[in-house]
Structures are given as C-alpha cells and as structure tokens.
Structure 1
Amino acid sequence: MSDTKDHQRELVSRQSRVRGMMLGLALGDTVGAARGALPASGPLRAGVSTQLACFTVEGIIRAQVRGNHKGICYAPGVVLHAYSRWAFLQGIETEKMRDRWASHTASWPDGWLARVPALGERRGSAPATVAALSRIDAGEEQMATTSRGHHALTRGLPIAVTGLGGITQADAVAALTHGDPAGRSATVHAAVLAHYCLTDSDSEPGRSVRDALQAGITALAPRDERGGLVATDEEHGRLGATFQLAVDEPADPSRLAQLAPDPTAPSALLGGLYVAASFPDRTAFPAALDFAAKAPDGESVACVAGALLGAVHGVEALPVALVSRHELAWVLDTLARDLVLELDDSPSGSEYIQGWDAHWWERYPGW
C-alpha cells in the first residue's frame, strides 16, 4: 500500500509540474501578446504558440500510443500529422491536408482535440510553420523553410516531458518547418532547460528555479564524446553568461532587450532564461510575465519564461485569476494530465496487453 501511495504522490507531483508548464506557456503567450496590458475582465485569448503547443502534446501522446501498439514509430511524423490537423482547422491548404491524411480514416481530422472550436480560430501569425505545411506534398525533407523564428521553439517546449531521450527528437520536429541550424539548436536547448525545470528537485525556497536552470545549462556543456544533447562552446557560453546576468543584474529592461532583440528562437531562449532566473520566487510569476512582455518580442520571451517557471513551481503557483479566464485552460490541463498518464501507464494498453480505458484510442488514435 505504501508503494502505491508513493507512486500516486509522485504522479500527482509530475502532473502539477507539467500542468504548470503548459498553462505557464499559455499565460506567457497571452500576456506577451498583450504587452502586459490584459483586459480587466472576460476571457483571455490563446495565442498561436499555445495552439501549436497543444498539437505538439497531442502528437506526442499519439506517437506513444502508436509505439505501444505497433512496436515502431517515427514520432516527428506523427507530430507532423498533428500540425496538419491544426492547419486544416485553420483553413490552410485544406485540400492538400485531406489528400495527405483523410484516406486513412473516414472521420478525419480525428481525435478529440480537433473538436475544440478555439483551435480553429486565427490567433496570430506563424509564417514559417504555415509556409512549410503548405508545401507538405513536397515531402518532409523538402517542406521546411530557412526560418529561425521562435515558433519551432515555443511549440516544441512540451517535448521536455518525454525526458532527455525523447528530447533528441526535438531537432527533427523543429526541422519539419524551420531549417535554420541556430533556431533548431535553440529549440533543443530550451527543451533541455524545461526538462530540468520539470525534474530537478526543490532546494531552499526561492532558489529552486535557479538550481534547475543551472542544472540544465551544466547538462548542455560541450563534451568530448559523440552523441548526447550538448551545446557548442559559443552557445553554452551565451547560456551561462545570460544566467549570470540574471543573478547579478536581474530584471534589467536594457539587458533583456540586448538578449532578445527579435522574434527568433535564440532570442526567445536567452530572453526566457534571463526572465526566469531574474524572478525565482514562487510568488513572482505575474511580475515575471509582465517584465517579459516588455521585451522587443514579448510574446515569445514570456511564453518561454512562463513555461520554465510553471514547470518548476507547479500549477498551484499560477495566478487563479488568470488561469480561470484563459479560454484553453481546460484543454491545456487535460492534455498535460493525459500526457503524464500516457507516459506513466498507457491507458490503451499495447499490442499484447489489454488497455484499461476503452475510449483512449478514440481520443488519441495511434497514427
């Protein structure tokens, strides 16, 4: 009984951090887009990074389901299918999307996420993602643009939940639409930092954020052996210098503008890192997002900072007044819980084991 209770507590704790990461990402996206000036009342609208992050999570779950039932799966291809469902709901190249995917099932787009109305509404621009998906008939290796825009990074943050082994796929997922090497590297590095925010154990109050970020930066240090998730000397130096700036000169608007001058993935990474390390206290989440929103591209910086802080502190630390108003709060919370549940104990079973949830495959078809 003790082992069962310990597992339950651990599961709830992991769910709290993943829920915090997803809802923190969404709140950052929304606050950043509003430049910190949110309406006093009414629903808070999701941004396009949040929409795409939802489909990243759904793609991860469906890839896991496929792997369990088929014994083999190329996860980036399943995530591409998820982004295609987003594109179809958005009215982007609908005939191409139908031609590519609808022959596999009579009810495409399938899965419960495709039935969420807000995911079919235009909520900002993701030009590189749209341009690449519009060329989906050219094949996965030819469709990507040369962009280093931040959407590959912000939509890819949920990959952190899959662990360091899963994060090795983050580059391939980014490369579906964004071909720039610096942008792809920043996407992987952000996922590694988010992973350590999700998993690094709490230390003394107010320092767990910095401890987790420092652990992530250390893990990215260049190594002699081949393989693994590492940064170049130059990239690692920038990460370390950004972290130290946050410790020595926290919440300096001019520093933030220098670190994150544009809407690219490297800017989102460094800006989000600087903000998160500048506001390590659990009660400082709203102030962190307000500060991040003042960056030249506040949307991407606040999105990353919100995800990192939410991952460390857990969902309970997020401001209820904002979470309760966000139009996708239930969707994000459900996806976060289901992602942890799928990785912990596949509800649909596997090729050889009967599942305990008869409706899981319908919710998350494994293809």
Structure 2
Amino acid sequence: MPEPKDHQRALFTRQSRVRGLMLGLALGETLGAARGTVPAGVLRAGVATQLACFTAEGVIRAQVRLQHKGICHAPGVVLHAYSRWAYLQGIAREKMLARWNPHGTGRWPDGWLADVPALAERRGSAPATVTALSRIDEGEKAMPTPSRGAHALTRGLPVAVAGVEGVALVDALAGLTHGDPAARAAAVHATLLARHCLNHPAPERTPYTPYAGILTEALEAGLAALPSEARDLTDDQHDRLTSAVREAAARPADRAVLARLAPDATAPAALLGGLYAAASFPRPADLPAALAFAATASAGDCVACVTGALLGAAHGAGLLPAGLVARHELAWVLDTLARDLVLEFDDSPSGGEYVRGWDPDWWNRYPGW
C-alpha cells in the first residue's frame, strides 16, 4: 500500500494533468477560433469547451450513480448532461422538460453547472449535436445524424480520465449525435491517446529543466498500444496516426503538411492535425506557438483544441501560460471540473450504497442521474 505522501503526490500529479487537459482544450479552441492571435481582454469559451464541461460533469454524475446504485447506463447520464446544456441554450426546451422533468417537480436543470452564465450563451455552431438533441423525443436510436464533425471528438476528451474502460463510453457518446463510423473511431483514438498523455510517467527532473520528451514518449506509447485498446482499429487508421507523429519529427510545423492532414472540420482531421501540431512543439514552453500553428488549419479551432488537450495532459496545468489561463472566462469552471473528476474516481466524496461519504454537498453538486 502506498505511503500517504506518495498517494498525495500521485493525486496532485494526476490532478495537474487532467487540469492541463481541460484548460489546454479550452485555450486551444479560443485561440484557434481567433486564428492564432491572442484577443485582448477576457478569453471567451467556444461551444466545444461548453460541451466538454458537460461531458466532464456527466461522467462525474455517472460515477456517483454507479457508487450509490451499483448500476449505471453512463451514456444516458451524459445525454442528460447534454440536455441540460441544450435547455440552457434555448434548444428544444419543451422536449427537454418532457424528457427530464415531466411533472415540474424540483429544480431542473440541476447541478452547479446550470448556474454558470457563460454556459448558457451561444458560442458557435454545433449543428449535429443540436439536430440530434432536438430529436430526443424520438429516442436515442433515432437521434444520430450522419455527421463526422469534430465535436464528436472534442467534447469527449474528458473521458480520458476513465481509462481504458472509457473506450466504450466515448464511442457511445459520439454515437449519440454523430453516426459516421469515422467520427466515432476518431473520438475513441483521440481519447486513448489523451489517456496515455495523462498517465505516462515523467522521469526525475530539476525545476529548471522541464522534461520535453514526455509528450513524444506518451504518444509513441499510445500508438503502440492502440491496436490492443481500440476495437476495430484498421491498419489504415493506425498508419495515418503514426505517420502524423513521424512527420512532426521529420518536418515539424510545416503548414503544407498540416493542410493535408486537416483539410476540414471533421473528427479525423481534427485528430490528425492536432497530433501533428502537438508533436511538432513538444516542449512545454512552446505551447503558445503550437496553438498558433494549429490555428492555421482549415478548422483551426478544432485542431488547436486537440493540440492544447494533448499538450496540457502531458505537461500538466502548472506549465500552461498563466497569462492566458488567468484570462479565460471558464478557467475556474474547468479547473474545478478537472479536480472533481479525479477526486470522484479516486475517493468518491459522496460515498456509496454501503459507504458513508465525507462531503455532504457532493450529491447536490453532482446528482447521480
């Protein structure tokens, strides 16, 4: 059994990396949408960041339900999270109320995210997600669109915290709204690679020499493990992912390569472009340059979103640019969700069916449904 201090240090490292993933994702989308320039004043969140917040909250609530009930259909719990986002956005409100609060009892939408003003504002287009959620009264099987858009991937990245067990979940979450097999596959592959960035051990280093090789090592380990972790991975998919990382080593930060890998706003393009951009700038200090480069892609917000998530997951929140993080309007929200994600999987603050919890407010923050 690990010593208390060892556990505390491991928890701190894990929290830092999950915080890095969430904050990096958000910074990437914001700067990518600005085509690589840094806007003055407050940095506004985009729609992919909004949806990623609700994914993270939904995953926590699914885990809470599992602990208390012993059984949980996690995709349904996260669909409930997306429905709360839709209601706040003014999307199919009557259908959402009929599905989730038909008798008008209690407060709905519930949970603390419903009180965050920036999550109720329209921040870009998510057509496949909106179309699918607008069909919620037809049942989950009728909801998906034929889209292979990037939101199937970007919003699911927080599921990387769930480990290999999250593969089935992220596939199901992508499939709620995006029926294209390539979009679902890209979402799975991105989440598995992000998981390796979260979990790859870093060697001992001094405070003055941040280890730059961790991202490259994590991606190489992830690519090597992908055939055994991702069901139905094709040789072509694996070759494309491997080639993107190899090209970053041979021809880093080449706009022609980025344009070829990420020509549109699809999930496969976001993954390939994000991989290439991240691997082209593996050093922690180069994250702003990585996001600026990723932003030059055709769908720069999507590519930079993946780039930021991978780099943040590998290096941790402490190495993100403080001047950018401090100006992001959802920095506190993202940071809190990341910490709570790790805490729920590590210690279940609300307890469970047979175990008393130590945080009496946890269930109110994250109701298990």
State TM-score, norm by structure 2: 0.96
Post-superposition offset of 1:158 = 0.5
Q: Deviations over 1:186-237 (max 9, x none)?
A: 000000000000001125832111100111111113x6xxx85452111001
Query: Alignment partner for residue 216 of structure 2, among 210, 222, 230?
Result: 210
1:193–1:213 CA contact under 8 A, matched in 2: yes
Q: Deviations over 1:280-317 (max 9, x none)?
A: 11110110000000111100000000000000000011
Q: 2:299 maps to which residue?
A: 297
**C-alpha separation in 1, matches of 2:288 and 2:339:** 24
**C-alpha separation in 2, matches of 1:102 and 1:34:** 38
Q: 1:44 maps to which residue?
A: 43
**Please, which moves more after superposition, 243-252 or 2-11?**
2-11
Q: Deviations over 1:120-158 (max 9, x none)?
A: 000000000000000000101111100000001000000
Q: 1:198 maps to which residue?
A: 198
Aligned pair 1:255/2:261, yes or no? no
**C-alpha separation in 2, matches of 1:146 and 1:297:** 19
> Alignment length, in residue pairs?
362
Matches within 5 A, 1:37-76: 37-40=37-40, 42-76=41-75
Matches within 5 A, 1:58-97: 58-97=57-96
1:55–1:82 CA contact under 8 A, matched in 2: yes
Aligned pair 1:33/2:39, yes or no? no
Identity %: 67
Post-superposition offset of 1:167 = 2.3
Q: 1:270 maps to which residue?
A: 272
Query: Alignment partner for residue 234 of structure 1, among 236, 244, 252?
Result: 236
1:260–1:268 CA contact under 8 A, matched in 2: yes
Structure 2: give runs of 5+ residues left out of the alignment. Answer: 206-210
2:19–2:339 CA contact under 8 A, matched in 1: yes
Q: 1:114 maps to which residue?
A: 114
Question: CA 1:360 to 1:130, structure 2 compared with 1: closer, same or farther past 3 Å?
Answer: same
Aligned pair 1:219/2:210, yes or no? no
**Please, which moves more after superposition, 45-54 or 207-216?**
207-216
2:167–2:230 CA contact under 8 A, matched in 1: no
Q: 2:156 maps to which residue?
A: 156
1:25–1:305 CA contact under 8 A, matched in 2: yes
Q: Which amino acid aligns with 2:329?
A: E
Q: Which amino acid aligns with 2:169?
A: Q
**C-alpha separation in 1, matches of 2:315 and 2:140:** 37
Q: Which amino acid aligns with 1:101?
A: W
Q: Secondary structure at the match of 1:45?
A: coil
Q: Which amino acid aligns with 1:85?
A: R
CA RMSD in angstroms, aligned pairs only: 1.3
**C-alpha separation in 1, matches of 2:143 and 2:127:** 13
**Please, which moves more after superposition, 92-101 or 160-169?**
160-169
1:219–1:230 CA contact under 8 A, matched in 2: no
Q: Secondary structure at the match of 1:176?
A: helix
Q: Which amino acid aligns with 2:236?
A: E
Post-superposition offset of 1:102 = 1.2
Query: Alignment partner for residue 279 of structure 1, among 268, 281, 294?
Result: 281
**Please, which moves more after superposition, 25-34 or 167-176?**
167-176
**C-alpha separation in 1, matches of 2:29 and 2:131:** 22
1:17–1:310 CA contact under 8 A, matched in 2: yes
**C-alpha separation in 2, matches of 1:339 and 1:174:** 20
**C-alpha separation in 1, matches of 2:99 and 2:247:** 48
1:168–1:229 CA contact under 8 A, matched in 2: no
**C-alpha separation in 2, matches of 1:64 and 1:93:** 27
Q: 1:320 maps to which residue?
A: 322
Q: 2:208 maps to which residue?
A: none
Q: Secondary structure at the match of 1:122?
A: coil
Q: Which amino acid aligns with 1:356?
A: W
**C-alpha separation in 2, matches of 1:346 and 1:266:** 35
**C-alpha separation in 1, matches of 2:169 and 2:340:** 20
**C-alpha separation in 1, matches of 2:171 and 2:124:** 24
Q: Secondary structure at the match of 2:142?
A: coil
Q: Which amino acid aligns with 2:202?
A: D
Q: Secondary structure at the match of 2:357?
A: coil
Q: 1:288 maps to which residue?
A: 290
2:62–2:73 CA contact under 8 A, matched in 1: yes
